[in-house]
Structure formats: C-alpha cells, structure tokens
Chain A
Amino acid sequence: MSSPAAGLSSQNGAGRQACSNGPIQNLIMMQAPGRGYNTAAQTMHPQHMPAKAPLEQPAGQYHYGCYQSSPPVSVYQGPGQSAPPVSVYQGPGQSAPPVSMYQGPGHSAPPVSMYQGPRQTNMTRPPMRPLQPHQAGSARIAAPAPSSTPPPVCSNSFYPGSQIPPHSQWAYGTPPPMSQPSVATNHVTSAPSQLSAARYGIQNSPPQGPPAPLNTSVQPGQPSGYGMQNSPPQRPPASLNSSVQPGQPSGYGIQNSPLQGPSAPLNSSVQPGQPSGYGIQNSPPQRPPAPLNISVQPGPAPPPVSPLSSQSYQSGRQPFGPPPPVRPEAPPTGQLNNAATPPPPAAAAKQEVPVPGAERTQIHNSFDALESGGRNAAQHHPQMGRAVGLSYPSLPLGYQNMAVSPCAPGMQPLSQRYPAGAQSFQQAALGPAQLGSALGGMNLQQSQPEALRAINLLQERNLLPRGPVTPPVPCLPQDLQRLNCSPEVFRCTLTNIPQTQSLLNKAKLPLGLLLHPFKDMSLPVVTSSTIVRCRSCRTYINPFVTFLDQRRWKCNLCYRVNEVPEEFMYNPVSRSYGEPHKRPEVQNPTIEFIAPSEYMLRPPQPAVYLFVLDVSHNAVETGYLDTVCRSLLDSLSLLPGDTRTKIGFITFDSTVHFYNLQEGLSQPQMLVVSDIEDIFIPTPDSLLVNLNECKELVQDLLKGLPQMFTRTLETQCALGPALQAAFRLLSPTGGRVSVFQTQLPSVGVGALKSREDPNQRASAKDIPHLTPATDFYKKLALDCSGQQIAVDLFLLSGQYCDLASLACISKYSAGGVHYYPSYHHLHNPAQVEQLQRDLKRYFSRKIGFESVMRVRCTKGLSIHTFHGNFFVRSTDLLSLPNINPDSGFAVQMSIEENLVDMQVVSFQAALLYTSSKGERRIRVHTLCLPVVNSMADIFAGADVQAITGLLASMAVDRSVTASLSDARDALVNAAIDSLRAYRSGGLSVQQPGLVTPACLRLLPLYVVALLKQKAFRTGTSTRLDERVFAMCQLKYQPLAYLMLMIHPALYRVDNLTDEGAISIADRTVPQPATLQLSVEKLSRDGSFLMDSGSVLYLWVGRNCAPNFITQVLGVPSYTAIPQTMTQLPELDTAESTRTRAFISWLREQRPFYPILHVIREESPLKASFMQHMVEDRTESALSYYEFLLHLQQQVNK
C-alpha cells in the first residue's frame, strides 16, 4: 500500500501520473511514446496513423483494394522473430506494401498467411471488408430475398450452398449476395452445423419469426436488434438494398427482417453469431462448424433433435414470404424461446433492443450515426465512406454472384483471421434478452444428451475419458466462441453464468475463474500509441465490445459508450481506414500491448536477481550449494534480461555475508556483517552488479562458493536478517530474491521454533500449526511487495522448517515455493536431478517485473476472493512484484446484481508488467460467457476440473482460517450439495443410486482425490511441511498441473502399441488409455506409468513380461532392476522407442521436468506411488465406492 505501489496502479489510470492524464492519455503517449527504456517499442512502431489521405483513391479502387501508399502503421512483432512481412491484403491487381506484419511469437505465420490466403479476388474481398453493420445488413437482406434460403444468412449454412438460387439474392439487392457467398462457402450440411444454426436462429427468432408473438408485440420490424431499427419494416426489400449501397444512409436498416417474413428467423439467428457480415461469412470457413457444435454438445445431435432447430430449419425453407413483414407462422421455436425467456426486459431494450419507442430512436441514432458517419466520411473522404459502409454496394453484381460459391475457399483464411468479433458480440449483447435465454434453452436441449446425461455413479465405473478431460465449451455463438480466450489461460467453473445469485446458490456450485495469465504462449503484440480503453471502467478494448458505429464503441463491462480514437480507425493489419472492428485488439482475446510511458511510474526496472544462500553447517551437509552454483553458472547467460541486468549474492549462517563484485576487483570480496540485530548494507553500490560487466567475477564466485564453507561449523541460521538485507539491497530497484534455505531459522528476527510433534502426525484429528507462527515474514513480504521485490523460496530440508511461516515470504510477494524434502547430494540423487532441472527452468523462464494484474468483470458480477500468491491491493487489483509463467490464480466471484438483461458477461484480466528487456507491457485476456437462467443450463456448463481447482483453493483457505477437518467437511459438502441440487432441481430422472450429470461425473472422484491429497489427508503420517507445501501448490499452480497433482494419470505401458498414436514431428507417440487409480487396475504382469505432474513413476510388476524389462529397462530380469533408477536407457528397440516417446511427450506438455522413478513392487518409493491410488481404501480413508455410498446417503436424505 505504500505509495510506490500505488503508483504502479497506473494501469487503472488511477496511478498518479496516469491519473493526471486521465482520459487524455493519448496526448502524452504521442509525445513520448517510449522513454529511455522503450527503445524497442519505438522502433517497432515506426509511424503513427497515416493521415487519411492515403485512403483516397480512384473510386473504382476502393472496394477492397489495399491502400497502396499507406506506410506501415504498426508492426506486430512476435517476441523474438521477425518474419518477413507477409503481404497483407492485396488488391486484386495490386500488391500493397506490407502494412503490418503480424508475427506471432512463434512464427505466427498463420495470421499473416490468413490474410494472404484469401488470394483475394474482389469477390472474396467484399466479405472481408464489410463493416459489421453492413454485413449484418447484407446478410439479412440476403436472407429475406432468397427467402428460400434463409440459411445462407446464417453463417452456419444450414443449407447446402447449391440450394440457394443465386438470383434470389440478387433479387433484392446486390449487396446481399456478397454475404451469401460467404455463407455458401460454409454450406456445411452436417448436422452439427445445423444445430448451431438452429441455435442462432432460436436466439434471434424471438424477435422475428416464431417468436413473433414477442416481437410483434414490440414491433414488427424489430427482429434483430441491430438492423431493425433503421429500416422501417415495411420497406420493400429493394429499398433495403439501396440502403446498403454506398450512397445511402439506411444501409443498415435493411437488415430488418420484417421484410423477410419466413426467413426472418434465420436471419435473426445470424445476427447474434454473426453480427457483422464479416464474422459470419468468415467464420464458417474458418472453423468447421462441427468443432464448435461438438464442443457445445458433445454428442452429435441430429438436427431434428431439438425442436427449435428443426423449426428454424423449416422456416428457412419456406418459400419466401411476401416481402412485407410476414408474421411468420409462429413455429414452436418461437414459443420455446418465449417460454424460456421472459419478454425482453426494459433494460435490454435500453441497450439496443430496438423497441419502437424511445429506444428505437436511440438505436436509430446509433445506426443513423453509423450510416451518417459513413456518409460523412464519404463526404470528407469519399473513399473512406465507401470502404466503411458502402463497400459492398460498389461491387459489381457479377462479383457477388461469383462470390457466392466459388470464392468460398478463399474466404476462409480471412475469416479466420478477422472474424468480426466485435460486432457479432454486439448483437448478441444487444439483442433482446431472449437471446440469452434462447441460447440457454438450446444449450440445454442440445447438450442434454451429453453434458446433462444422468449417470448413476454407482453403476458406471468407467468414468474417465480415455484421454485428458476436456473443458466444456461455452455455449456461445460460433464466431464469439472463436474469439474467446483459451481455456488454458482463462477458465470459469461455470461456463454458463447463472442469472442471479439465488440461482447460483441453488445450484450449489462455486463460481470462479481460474487464470494462468503469464503462460508461455505466442500471442500478438501490438505497439500502438493509443491503447484504447473504456473511459469509465478502464477496460481494454476487446473482441466482445460493441461498435455502435464507426466512431463509438460500447464497453462490454460497464456499457459506457466510448469514442474510437482517430488512430484506432486505421487498421494496421489490413492497412485500411475505418475498420476499427478489425484491429487486432478486437480480433484477439489475448493480446499484448507495448505500454507507453504513462503506464510507468518510473523507468522500467532492470532485471535484478539476488541469491540468498544458506551456508550453515546443515546446508553444507546437504551439498546443495554445489548444485545451485553449477546450475547458475550454466544458466548465467540464460537469465532473462538485457544489458542492465544486475545480480548479487548474499550468504548467511549466524552472520550475513555480502559479496563485493565491483568491476575492477581481481576476485570477489566477502563482507561479513555480524550485527544481525540491526542489519545494514556495507557497500550498497557494489553488491548488486551488472551481470555483463562483471561476469568473470560472478563466475569466479560461483565456482568458489561451494568450497568456501566446506569446513564451517556454524549451525545457526539467520534467515530473517538475511532477508532484511536482501530487502534493503533491492529496495531501490525491485527484483527477484531467490532464497535457498535448509533449516529452521534460529537466530535474529524471524527465528522460529519447532512446532511439530511427529508423534501426533498420524493420530491427530486436527492438524495444528497451519498458520504462521510469526507475522515477521508476512510483513517483510508486504514491504517487499511495495518495493517490487518477489521472494522465491527453495526449501531443502529433511527436518521441520515451519514452512507455514516461511512460505509467507513468498505468498505475499508473489514468489514461488519449492520444496525438496530430504535433499541430499549423495543420498538422494533423484532430488538432485530434480533440483537441477527445476533450477534450469527457474533461471531461464520468462519473468515480468513490477507487475499488477487487474481482473474486471461485467457490471453485476463482483470479485469475492483471490487465490494464489500475491498481495491484493484493491478489490480487483493484485500486486505482483514478479510474475512468472508457472503461477496460476483463482478468483471466486459472486453475483451482486441480477444479470437479467444480459446475454453474455465478460471477464478481463489485464497484466501490466515490465519485461526482462525493460519494456512495459500489458497482457490482456478476455473471456466471454453466456448467461443462463435455468438450473439445467448451469449444470450443463459446469467445468468439473475448474470446480475442483477452485474448491481446492477454498479448502486451503478454510483449513488455515478454521481447521483441517472443517476444510474436509466443506469439500465433502460441496460434492453433496451440488449433487443434491441437481437431484432436487428436478433435472434428473428420479432413480435410485447416485445420479450426476455427465459433466460432473468426475466431481466425487476428484473430491475423494483431494481428501487423500497430502494437503488434506488425515490419519496418514504426513509431515507438516509437506502438507503446507501441498497447500501452497494447490493455491498457486495453474489448473493443468494442479489436476495432475490431484488426480494423476495412470497408463499401462508394457504393451504400448501404435494404435491410436499421434505423431508429432516425425515421432510417433502412443496414446494409452488413462486408467483408474486403483490397485485393482495394476497387475503384476504389466508395468504402469503414473504421471502426477511433477513426478513420473514407472511401476514394474513382478511378473512383468521379460520382454519389457529387457527391451525397455535394459536390465536382464526383474530382480536386476536397480533400487533407484531415474532414466530409461536409450535402447534401439521398438518398445523402448515407444515408451520413451510417450514419456518425453508427457514431459513436453509442461515447462518443468518431471523426474521418472522406476519402482519395483518392493521399492521404498512404492508408498509414494500407492498414495496416489485414490480410489482405494486406506486405513483412515474411504474408498471411492464407499465415498459414493456416503454421498448417496447424504444426497438422498
């Protein structure tokens, strides 16, 4: 909370400097985009927006041609690579200079390529171009016209393209055809796609056809939030078309489905998903609809499955109705929707639902503005105008036709790259409230077969999927979902957000987010002088905002309408002006900005690393110094940083030793401070030295350090004073402190006493001493946090070290805790290897300094609690002195206001940090989820892994604040409550047994696994430190690793075959099935591999086939397997190759390196292997089946 810390919050704009700028930041940015440190940024960012001048071109060209003359606006560079600029968007005949290179960090050629891919002939272009509104309009138009083929509109392409008579499109206006083509491309007739289409249709439908009742009441013309307002329902289609055309203002209005009559539903359906013509068209090609659908509804649902879908379908088919708004034959669909959702609440209307009344006018305005904007633009810059709104019309008819089918393939790439997410979103968001409900309804129905399929756990045993458990996919319109954040980064326990807190309480499922914000990933990086944010809530512009028109966008979190800054009008990727919705910011759910100087309170700090090493007798005994120094020596050049990188060392026993590494010294100079009561820094300037300038001295020191203390007899350990010294040393800059500790701190401040009574370990009903014994470490950590210092703790100790107290130093300074129990360089070689591997990763992994993370969510939701390692500085702001790619966060959410008028809610996590190169960067993740109002939908969207992760974090908190037994009870109750809610919610057929929805079928298993986790188990002898360490891990590990830790994967590996194998980079990786964690699955004839995240166990049965033993393990017989074996020999046999390929594949999936232990049946490690057999009964814990019986008893009570 110290002022510097506050300063960092500039992210919000609340920081001092930032604040002053407030909304006006841009000015500043322009002036001095990068200060001294930003050079990189500057270079990347050669020019600001070009004037609009370039836009002007001969009328003929503007369609889609690139602006040839435009200078490169911005280059998106991936992190290290410079790919040759791919040409972007070429006009038909023209080759435009590369406007922007969009390089993904990992060669994201794709983005670029996508652009190129289209090979855009004019025909293809049109679709791309479309302003969202336009497109939407066009789409709609198209739909009506071809009445026969309403589907075309729907991106989903219900209908085969062929079916659509080309001229039907024409009939009304040229513009529509364009859209159609894209549709046509999609024509996936596959059932899934249809479903999706149906879904959309449903949503929309409320307004239009079937839903007609609703709409009608509202207004005939209003079918889709978007289009309708403008166009009076009655307009003949022709007029519509005209509107589309460049010259005409009303282009958008066209959409009004009213005209379309029967087809309307379809059209409407289009809207949500495809708000922008763009998105629609493109989307289909990009992803085969199937995946989406599938994800949504695991089971292939035949189109007929849901009445809704079928209906929409039919309606689509009908011959066109008369052009005037035909009251659609109210098909069942509409009714369904209605039933599901109350009529659009006024609020919804407010937003954008075209309501005849005032709202209408509102909308009107927006639309008008849109168009007028277009017009105006056109006037001012004729080209722009066209480009924006009118582009379509300008195309020759012929084009359009062509586009219809042939071009489809070309379109794909485009669509992938730049789906018009924003718009699509818009529509969804704006649409009548019913949309959401409709979605929900759909979802329910569709997913019923799978996610909600009732499973009797007592009867079905094989619940584990063969491969990894996949997260559910939010039931969002296709193109929105495509823009959604990857579940690896951002996951929500409920992918369908309940509408009200009471509904959430009824479902008894925890609502929360699991974040892995700094995951190693390739993502687009934007250098821009203006970072567009909501002026009110400071949300970064994201794919889910709504563009009201060219110049204004509506925040999807607070619904404030903001202006689009001038720079943002220019799209550096396509080098076109007036397409703010196609900027990368609006096309990527995860994006990184190079932040301008107003995001800094001080010049970005250099990378500073300080190592604090325990050199007491005990530490020297373990021999860890040698390993650490050697690893560091090897990794010295890998430490992330630039020319300013600083490094320093402190060692301590009962005194604190500093090392003067000043340039010019012939050898490192050790300074001993024995006054540990009042620690001071002997020579503040020369203890932290520039790594590049003093590399030799550092290397000398690292080589000499292990030998310096070999004869020490000092057994005391003054960790507290050493940490204080480290804090003082780093205070001016901030940085990372790595502490290696091997025993209980015994002297000076922060000394601890042993609190553990080993005899009580197994018998105690409740575990005491989970809370820190002193708040010294916590307070120091808070001080560190204020000075941007993070402390990583490596604990290597055989005895009790009171990790519960020590871990505070890392917990609140956003560091990490690593624990190597019983580390010894001779007695425990596996640990040594593990430490080496971990250190290698630790030294070389990415790091961000002086960072803060803010999690924002749509109004109505609020953050309840954060879990992880950090200091919470404000309700939604985490102070993270360091951020590393291996830390995850969990956020509990609550619903404060009912989300009645929303179809979707969004969450945004923004991480502001200084990279090791001294660049200030902002990484923004945005997740969008639908809102539902029925229990069934909530359950259908439950993400069992995320729920487990969140429950684990909550249970850790509970065990610290209350007691371990409380936490255990809470875990069991969580399972009971949710299953009971499912049962009493009337969602399951009342049948005997323990019934769960399919999506939650693993919950009891995971809960059992948690109860048997080291952190929560009782009755088994568990060292307090190990327990506390497990708790730390539960809190800050990313979900993917957490799940392996909770429920390891077990594979049988003695009979690996290539069946079902996947091949990666010319290696064939067999994919054995995941087995249940029960001894009954083990057999003496086989060998099994258990992957528990950080450790791999290869268990070899006594009667294992000799073939496996000789061919894979390389030993003659079972008895010859050594007691400790951590490597598989590289044998040139098929079995060996397969096994090693599989193991290395497992290892590649995580950034750290799990050690492999080969264990025999009688090996000492067997116990640690067997403890993971969570389905089995132990002396003190129920087996899985018994637990199920217990649950059943409780649930049915």
Chain B
Amino acid sequence: MAFTFAAFCYMLALLLTAALIFFAIWHIIAFDELKTDYKNPIDQCNTLNPTVEKVKKIKRVRLALKLVLPEYLIHVFFCIMFLCATEWLSLGLNMPLLAYHVWRYMSRPVMSGPGLYDPTTIMNADILAFCQKEGWCKLAFYLLSFFYYLYG
C-alpha cells in the first residue's frame, strides 16, 4: 500500500508545483524587468548589447504572459487529481487559489485571444505593482505547497 493513487497525486503535484514555482519566478522577473526597464539600461547591462537585451526582454515578457494560461491549467489539473484521490485537505488548501484564478480570468480585459494582460494598460504603475505582488504571493504559496506535498 505504499504506492497509492494519492501518493501518485502528491508526486505529480510535487513536480507540477516545481514547474509552477518556475513560472512564478519567471512572472516576477518579467514584470520586474518591465518595471525597471527605464533605469539605466546602459549601466545595467554594460557588457551586453542593450538592444539585444531589450529584444530578449520583450520576448521574455511575452513568454511570461503566455505562461499564464498553462499555469492555470496545471493548477486546475492537479486540483482535479486531488479531487479524484479524495484528498480533501490538499484540495481545500488549493481551493482559494483556484477560485482566485477563475475570478482573475473572468475579470480579464476584453480580449479575443487567451491571455490576461493587456499591453496597453500593463505599464500602469498600479497594475504593474499588483502583478508583481501577485507573483510574489503565488511564489510563496507554491513554495509552501511544494514542501507540503513533499512531506505530506
């Protein structure tokens, strides 16, 4: 009985959470770069060609924006796994985040494609700050849940 479905779920969740942590970090970096972009690009990347850096940065941000949906899907996925494994506690712990994700996606700006961030408003300091905070919170949450899954 060592290897039950529940244990499998936890292992899977562990791996996926690691991925989510990675996403969260990426998210934070992307927004941080967006935010600090204007600060001395030259000083900041003396060794790098700033132009290259800039293009890279934009791509990275785009990537990060695209990662939002996968992140949500992954999270939904292992929530469903927990549900199947009737791990109520774990599910319960994840419910707030799940609800938040649903709400967040519902209240996203008008957009034809999938996505969460509107390039025209993303530079607004409030939104930027909110996104950054969101990233940190999620990172913390994922880290905690990572250890929870690890030992749980």
Complex contact A773–B123 (CB within 8 A): no
Docked Cα-Cα span, A17 to B49, in Å, equals 10
CB contact list, B27-43 vs A, under 8 A: 34-38, 40-43
CB contact list, B106-145 vs A, under 8 A: 109-112, 118-120, 123-126
A1193 close to chain B: CB less than 8 A: no
Complex contact B50–A536 (CB within 8 A): no
Q: Pick the residue among B40, B51, B109, B123 that contacts A875 (CB under 8 A).
A: B123
* Residue numbers in B under 8 Å from A453 (CB-CB): none
Docked Cα-Cα span, A9 to B37, in Å, equals 12
A19 close to chain B: CB less than 8 A: yes
Q: Encode contact with A along B68-100: 1 for CB under 8 Å, 0 otherwise.
A: 000000000000000000000000000000000
Complex contact B110–A812 (CB within 8 A): no
Complex contact A22–B58 (CB within 8 A): no
The smallest beta-carbon distance between B71 and chain A, in angstroms, is 22
Complex contact A872–B123 (CB within 8 A): yes
B54 close to chain A: CB less than 8 A: yes
Complex contact A1–B119 (CB within 8 A): yes
Chain B residue, CB-CB nearest to A870: B120
The smallest beta-carbon distance between A785 and chain B, in angstroms, is 10
Complex contact B110–A774 (CB within 8 A): yes
Docked Cα-Cα span, A19 to B45, in Å, equals 11
Complex contact A771–B54 (CB within 8 A): no
Complex contact A894–B110 (CB within 8 A): no
The smallest beta-carbon distance between B115 and chain A, in angstroms, is 10
Complex contact A894–B125 (CB within 8 A): yes
* Residue numbers in A under 8 Å from B119 (CB-CB): 1, 782, 871
Chain A residue, CB-CB nearest to B120: A812
Docked Cα-Cα span, A362 to B56, in Å, equals 41
Total A residues in contact with B, Cβ cutoff 8 Å: 44
The smallest beta-carbon distance between B126 and chain A, in angstroms, is 7
Q: Pick the residue among A13, A558, A874 that contacts B37 (CB under 8 A).
A: A874
Complex contact A535–B124 (CB within 8 A): no
Docked Cα-Cα span, A171 to B50, in Å, equals 58
Complex contact A771–B110 (CB within 8 A): yes
Q: Which of A14, A16, A17, A866 neighbours the largest number of chain B CB atoms within 10 Å of its CB?
A: A14
Complex contact B42–A536 (CB within 8 A): yes
Complex contact A862–B120 (CB within 8 A): no
A692 close to chain B: CB less than 8 A: no
Complex contact A875–B34 (CB within 8 A): yes
Known interface pairs A14-B54, A774-B112; A19-B38 also in contact (CB < 8 Å): no
The smallest beta-carbon distance between B136 and chain A, in angstroms, is 18
Complex contact A20–B49 (CB within 8 A): yes
B55 close to chain A: CB less than 8 A: yes
The smallest beta-carbon distance between A773 and chain B, in angstroms, is 7
The smallest beta-carbon distance between B93 and chain A, in angstroms, is 32
Q: Pick the residue among A15, A23, A537, A872 that contacts B40 (CB under 8 A).
A: A537
* Residue numbers in A under 8 Å from B120 (CB-CB): 778, 782, 812, 871-872
Complex contact A877–B38 (CB within 8 A): yes
Known interface pairs A19-B51, A862-B125, A871-B120; A779-B112 also in contact (CB < 8 Å): yes
A865 close to chain B: CB less than 8 A: yes
Q: Pick the residue among B36, B42, B55, B112 that contacts A13 (CB under 8 A).
A: B42
A864 close to chain B: CB less than 8 A: yes
Known interface pairs A15-B51, A773-B110, A775-B112; A865-B41 also in contact (CB < 8 Å): no
Chain A residue, CB-CB nearest to B123: A872
* Residue numbers in B under 8 Å from A13 (CB-CB): 41-42, 50
Complex contact A6–B126 (CB within 8 A): no
Complex contact A14–B112 (CB within 8 A): no
Known interface pairs A3-B55, A876-B38; A536-B43 also in contact (CB < 8 Å): yes
* Residue numbers in B under 8 Å from A106 (CB-CB): none
Complex contact B112–A874 (CB within 8 A): no
Complex contact A12–B112 (CB within 8 A): no
A1019 close to chain B: CB less than 8 A: no
Docked Cα-Cα span, A871 to B120, in Å, equals 6
Complex contact A875–B126 (CB within 8 A): no
The smallest beta-carbon distance between B54 and chain A, in angstroms, is 6
The smallest beta-carbon distance between A864 and chain B, in angstroms, is 4
Known interface pairs A864-B126, A875-B123; A12-B110 also in contact (CB < 8 Å): no
* Residue numbers in B under 8 Å from A782 (CB-CB): 119-120
Complex contact B35–A875 (CB within 8 A): yes
Q: Encode contact with B along A507-521: 1 for CB under 8 Å, 0 otherwise.
A: 000000000000000
Complex contact A864–B125 (CB within 8 A): yes
* Residue numbers in B under 8 Å from A20 (CB-CB): 49, 51
CB contact list, A328-350 vs B, under 8 A: none
The smallest beta-carbon distance between A454 and chain B, in angstroms, is 34
CB contact list, A773-832 vs B, under 8 A: 773-776, 778-779, 782, 812
Docked Cα-Cα span, A22 to B52, in Å, equals 13
CB contact list, B1-17 vs A, under 8 A: none
* Residue numbers in B under 8 Å from A22 (CB-CB): 42, 50
Docked Cα-Cα span, A558 to B44, in Å, equals 14
Chain B residue, CB-CB nearest to A855: B38
The smallest beta-carbon distance between B124 and chain A, in angstroms, is 5
Docked Cα-Cα span, A772 to B109, in Å, equals 10
Complex contact B125–A12 (CB within 8 A): no
8 additional A-B residue pairs with CB within 8 Å, beyond A14-B42, A14-B51, A22-B42: A1-B62, A9-B54, A13-B42, A23-B42, A863-B125, A864-B124, A864-B126, A865-B124
Q: Could you pull out 22 A-B pairs where Cβ atoms are within 8 angstroms?
A: A1-B119, A6-B54, A12-B41, A13-B42, A14-B41, A14-B50, A15-B51, A16-B51, A17-B51, A19-B51, A537-B40, A558-B40, A771-B110, A776-B112, A865-B124, A865-B125, A871-B120, A874-B38, A875-B34, A875-B35, A876-B38, A877-B38
Name B's A-contacting residues (CB within 8 A). 34-38, 40-43, 49-51, 54-55, 58, 62, 109-112, 118-120, 123-126
